[in-house]
Every structure is written in structure tokens, then in C-alpha cells.
Amino acid sequence: MPTKPAGTLYRGKTGMWSWVLHRITGVAIFFFLLVHTLDTALVRVSPEAYNAVINTYKTPIIGLAELGLVAALLFHGLNGVRVMLIDFWRKGSKYQNVMFWIVIGIAFILFLGFAPRHLMHVFG
Amino acid sequence: MVTIETPRSPRSRKHAQWEKWGWLYMRYSGAVLLILIFGHIVINLLSGEGIKQIDFAFVAGKWASPFWQVYDVLMLWLALIHGTNGMRTIVNDYTERETVRKALNYTLWIVCGLLIVLGTLVCVTFDPCIDQAMRASLEVCKG
Ligand code: HEM
């Protein structure tokens, strides 16, 4: 006797995936913020300590990771506006799907504006 | 077995009110954070030499102005509370045992509180004169 798959609340499509991405990016940004608050606190310890730690942010590997951080922030921030429009704008839920693609589009354009300049700073 | 509350499951009025303020906070703080964080990235990572310009002198230059001190402290408070409250939502979604849920949430808010106190103190008590080069060049360090 084949068993039926268990019921699920996950409904797929952009509605679900935007939520998954929003959640993952939110957690990633949260953990970065914990680290970033601590590394910045070193300005109160000594210039040498602060500069030593901040110099690791200028290395190629962390420099590339910063691209990921900015991409995560672009998506989370712009999708946050989409969430607010869904909640507060009368027609928000009707247009949630097209707003998802607008969010992806704007995030992509802003990322293309940021990435080359940042890579020039890191590798230049 | 995870049980999902039905909308009619009992919950005190006070608790529901509190959750509503949290829900609203996520949205209002998000709107302000959008401006503060994108501004932070433009000033620190896009303008000038980008990440290469960041050092003690750069921070000292910014925090010489109360505008950037207020900006950064506001961003710190809003982002830490927003992130911690978001993490609380996620913990509530995925934990199955009440003790684990409580322990994780208490940990989150304690860490949040400590970092807010630390970050705020660092910014408002900042002293450029702990740097030798600044001591020689800055007027405020000579008094
Ligand atoms: C850039 C500006 C930001 C905007 C516009 C924004 C917007 C939002 C909104 C509207 C929500 C609620 C989502 C919901 O209830 O379904 C949310 C959730 C969340 N945010 Fe942000 N946020 C921003 C920045 C941040 C930052 C800096 C952090 C980390 C410190 C963060 C971490 C989170 C987390 C962990 C959640 C919970 C996600 C979930 O429940 O699935 N956000 N954000």
C-alpha cells in the first residue's frame, strides 16, 4: 500500500521562495552584525587592534564575501518593502508575484552597480 | 510532532497586543534601516577608496560629527532589535520543546542587550586621541 505524502504548509512558487530567501538572508545578516559590532568596538581599544582586524576585510576572500553580504542586504531590504506593501497596500497581495520579480530586478541592477566598484577596491 | 496554532487558539489579549507591536516594529524599523544601511554602504564601501579607506582615522573622521554618531547608534539599535526579534520568530517556528525555545530566546535578547550597550558606549565615549598621529595633529587632543 503506497502511503500518501504528509500534508505540508509549504506551497511553492514565488510566495514561498521569497519567504525562504528573506529568512536565510535575515539570519546571515544577523550573524554578520554580531561580528561587525564586535570588530568596530575595537576602535575603543586601540588604533592598532582596529586596523589589524579591519585589514582582514580588505583581503580577496573576505572582499568576495562582502559581495554576498551586499547581495543578501539588497534582496532582504527590497523584499522587506514588498512585504510591507503586501501588508499595508490594498492591492499588495494581488501584485505580490510581479513585485517579487521587480525586487529581483532592482536588486540585480543595484548589485551590478556595486560589484565592479567594490572589486576594483579589493583587487585594485 | 509540531502543532500549529489555529487562529482561535487561546492567547491573552496582552500577549496578542505585544506580538502586534513586534510585527509593526519589524516593518517600521525595516523602512528606516533600508535608508540607514544603504547610506552606510554608499559612504563606506562605494565612495572614495571603498573598503580600502576604512581604518581608525576614517572612523575618527566620521565620529567627529554628532550627525554620524547619532546615525550609527540609531542604526545599531534598530538593526540589533530587528534582527533579534526576527531570530525570535524563527526560533519560535522551529523549536519543539518549550525549554529549548525559552533558552534560545533568552540568549538572543541577552546578546542583543549586551551588544547595544557595548556599541553605544564605544560610539559615545570614542576618543580619537588614543592614536599617536591624532594626538600630534588634532586640536582637541592638545588641551
Ligand atoms: C535593509 C533594511 C531591512 C528591511 C527593509 C527589512 C525588512 C524586514 C521585514 C518587513 C521583516 C518581516 C518579515 C515578515 O514578518 O514576514 C523582516 C524580517 C527579518 N529581518 Fe529584516 N529588514 C532589514 C534589515 C535587516 C537586518 C539588518 C537584519 C539583521 C540584523 C534583519 C534580519 C531579519 C530577520 C532575522 C527577520 C526574520 C525573518 C523571518 O521571520 O523569516 N533584517 N525584515
Interface check A26 vs B, CB under 8 A: yes
Contact A57 B54 (CB under 8 A): yes
Q: What is the pLDDT of residues A36-88, one digit of tens each?
A: 999 999 999 999 999 999 999 999 999 999 999 999 999 999 999 999 999 99
Confidence of residue B14 (pLDDT cuts 50, 70, 90): confident
Q: For residue B90, with 0-12 CB atoms within 10 Å meaning exposed, 13-18 middle and 19 or more buried, which class applies?
A: middle
Q: Give residue limits of the domains in chain B.
A: 16-142
Cα-to-centroid distance, A23 and ligand 1 (Å): 8
Give A119's contacts (C-beta < 8 A, 6+ positions apart).
A63, A67
Confidence of residue B100 (pLDDT cuts 50, 70, 90): very high
Contact B41 A73 (CB under 8 A): yes
C-alpha angle B85/B44/B130, rounded to 5°?
A: 95
Chain B positions touching A23 (Cβ under 8 A) are 90
ipTM reported for the complex, 2 dp: 0.92
Give B104's contacts (C-beta < 8 A, 6+ positions apart).
B91, B95
Q: How far is A1 from chain B (nearest CA, A)?
A: 24
Chain B positions touching A122 (Cβ under 8 A) are 50-52
C-alpha angle B28/B112/A26, rounded to 5°?
A: 55
Confidence of residue A9 (pLDDT cuts 50, 70, 90): confident
Residue of chain B whose Cα is closest to the Cα of A69: B41
Q: Looking at the predicted structure, is the pLDDT value of residue B5 above 70?
A: no
Under CATH, which architecture does the B16-142 domain have? Up-down Bundle (1.20)
Interface check A94 vs B, CB under 8 A: no
Q: What is the pLDDT of residues A98-121, one digit of tens each?
A: 999 999 999 999 999 999 999 999
Contact B51 A122 (CB under 8 A): yes
| CB-based contact A37:B76 (threshold 8 Å) | yes
Return the SS3 of A12: coil
Location of C-alpha cell 550573524: A31
Q: What is the pLDDT of residues B108-117, one digit of tens each?
A: 999 999 999 9
pLDDT for res B4: 65
Location of C-alpha cell 575595537: A42
Whole-angstrom Cα distance, residue A80 to residue B37? 13
Q: 3-state DSSP: chain A helix, strand, coil percent, rounded to 5?
A: 80, 0, 20
Q: What number of residues does chain A have? A: 124
